[in-house]
Chains A and B, each alone.
Chain A
């Protein structure tokens, strides 16, 4: 962040002929500026207590979460959990019955809050009578950002549509239209990109492309809100996950927080007291017959595993199997949702 004007030298010094009040005002202004400059940049998305009813059905019930700058947040949940409704409320497409939204530090009711937001809707369709390049140009004009034509072409190339820039969208397949939608979401130099089921019409290659795009967005400091059914996709690219169920936040946190620590499962024979002590030193130990489970600490990852195995062999232990284990996001998600059913 650039230093605020408060850092400018030559402020009022005591003892000058200036009236005191003016000196106080300037000093107050400077300190206020300093305060503003020192604040961390506002979150990409901040929402609190979002609520929406359609007739008698409550679709969204008190949803709050934050997406930090440059963070990739995954929105997970079963069909009808309210994910798309939440996204539409963030973007001003659906009016919340209650709750507040801030996008990039501006209130959600202000259209200008969306000036640096790119959006790929779940139900994507673009003017069939326009060419791909014209669709991008239209969105650039609507966004009010000046983006040169070459940069717009680059965006089409990024999603693999460089050769179809001059073709009418009406002749595009579903998958190509979704790729175009991704280019539309990226074209106006966004600081926040909202992707609602971005790979629903794509083949495995297209999904890999989207994954690469999301990761490169994160690298360049762009925040991403990703709603996807594909848990594997979310697990690979997201920093944090919010799980929605029946319109409420059922769980949220980083992947490590949600999934717990890594585990090491070992099938061993001839484990003496010394070997068992060595195992216990590596992490919390549980035993069932010849199978031993060691919960590895977070910071350790897999680095200590070879040393552990070498030490065990040194203690005369016969090692049959060493398996890294981690509860998958899918198992965790199902667990959370089933808990919700029982309640």
Chain B
């Protein structure tokens, strides 16, 4: 596989994202969300002046996780809907014909697209996340304990979802691939919440729903790891067992095994996508 082709296609994908209206829409949405969260955080500090430090921290950490969930949702929606059209759309419109008749391997073109989309999604998550941390720091004086780990996990979550989007785009229509990818993302999140409730109630069967769904599609697992990195480590011990299963608190850091599984998942799904793309008649 030629690095020249991979980098050329990755650059082309980034240029497409920059030149299409996606970037402007995303920037607009992000600014609105940042402004709303700034207003919300400033209300927390003024209206609830009587809160104890523990309560204030809980409020700040929860709302921060909530807003970060919003960003991860934007990144997921954006990349899943970009991944589909860039591949399936190019095949349908005929743009792919002239490019793939060049001396290039299809897998190199696919990996290039993937790399460009990962760079785009991760770039967005990191920039928007940092801006959000600054907003929280200025309004309520809270700074997450592991910002780099958390943002890296969010970027990983984006990468997982867009890899799934690419695989789907090699077999179904562009719009459908975006819808299915985002639907699965939502379903996994809900399964994670259900599993959390099951764990807090001590029901193993229900708890397993979350565990299994986190293995099948690692977006929710990575998201929970990111939440854990954003929130104050003393929070969980202070709150006690009553808050187990609360959807906007991460209970434990991710294990190395799970991270390795997520990485393997991405490699396998990308490999499947490359195989499906290579066998496809254009």
Residues of chain A whose beta carbon lies under 8 Å from any beta carbon of chain B: 88, 91-95, 111-115, 117, 119-121, 123-127, 129-130, 138-139, 141-144, 181, 184, 188, 194
Contact = CB atoms under 8 A, between A and B. Distances in A.
A292 B282 CA distance: 55
A94 B103 contact: no
Contacts of B20: 129
Interface centre among A93, A94, A141, A142 (most CB of B within 10 A): A142
Interface stretch (B45-53, B90-98, B192-200): B90-98
Nearest to A123: B94
Contacts of A115: 103
B8 A142 contact: yes
20 contacts: A88-B282, A92-B100, A93-B97, A93-B281, A94-B281, A95-B279, A111-B104, A114-B101, A114-B102, A119-B98, A121-B97, A123-B94, A124-B97, A125-B94, A127-B16, A129-B20, A141-B8, A142-B104, A181-B98, A194-B101
A188 B99 CA distance: 13
B98 A113 contact: no
Contacts of A121: 94, 97-98, 101
Given A129-B16, A129-B19, A129-B20, A117 B97 contact: no
A143 B2 CA distance: 12
Given A94-B281, A138-B8, A143 B98 contact: no
Q: Main SS of the interface on chain B? A: helix
A130 B14 CA distance: 12
A123 B97 contact: yes
Given A94-B281, A129-B15, A142-B8, A124 B94 contact: yes
A114 B5 CA distance: 14
Contact of B4 (A124, A129, A141, A184): A141
Contacts of B19: 129
B43 interface: no
Nearest to A113: B103
A246 to B, nearest CB: 20
A95 B93 CA distance: 20
A241 B4 CA distance: 38
Contact of B103 (A126, A144, A194): A144
Contacts of A113: 103
B93 A125 contact: yes
Contacts of B101: 91-93, 114, 117, 119, 121, 194
B18 to A, nearest CB: 9
Which 5 pairs of residues, A with B, have the shortest CB-CB distance? A123-B94, A142-B102, A129-B19, A121-B97, A119-B101
Contacts of A141: 4, 8
B24 interface: no
B17 to A, nearest CB: 10
Contacts of B105: 111
Task: Give the size category of B's interface with A.
Answer: 20 to 34
Nearest to A115: B103
B169 to A, nearest CB: 17
Nearest to A135: B98
Given A111-B103, A138-B12, A144 B4 contact: yes
Contacts of B282: 88, 93-94
A127 B113 CA distance: 14
B103 A127 contact: no
Interface centre among A112, A115, A121, A143 (most CB of B within 10 A): A121
Contacts of B2: 144
Contacts of B97: 93, 119, 121, 123-124
A85 B168 CA distance: 25
Interface in B78-121: 93-95, 97-105
Contacts of B104: 111, 142
B184 to A, nearest CB: 29
B279 A127 contact: no
B255 to A, nearest CB: 41
B102 A143 contact: yes
Nearest to B100: A93
Contacts of A130: 15
Contacts of B12: 127, 138
Nearest to B9: A142
A126 B8 contact: no
Interface string B20-50: 1000000000000000000000000000000
A275 B187 CA distance: 96
A144 B7 CA distance: 13
Given A93-B282, A124-B94, A127-B95, A143 B15 contact: no
A68 B222 CA distance: 58
A138 B9 CA distance: 9
A120 B93 CA distance: 14
Interface string B114-154: 00000000000000000000000000000000000000000
B94 A142 contact: no
A93 B101 CA distance: 7
Interface centre among B16, B100, B103 (most CB of A within 10 A): B103
A305 B158 CA distance: 79
A86 to B, nearest CB: 13
A49 B15 CA distance: 42
A184 B95 CA distance: 12
Given A95-B281, A141-B4, A142-B5, A114 B98 contact: no
A293 B20 CA distance: 67
Contacts of A138: 8, 12, 99
B98 A184 contact: yes
A124 B279 CA distance: 22
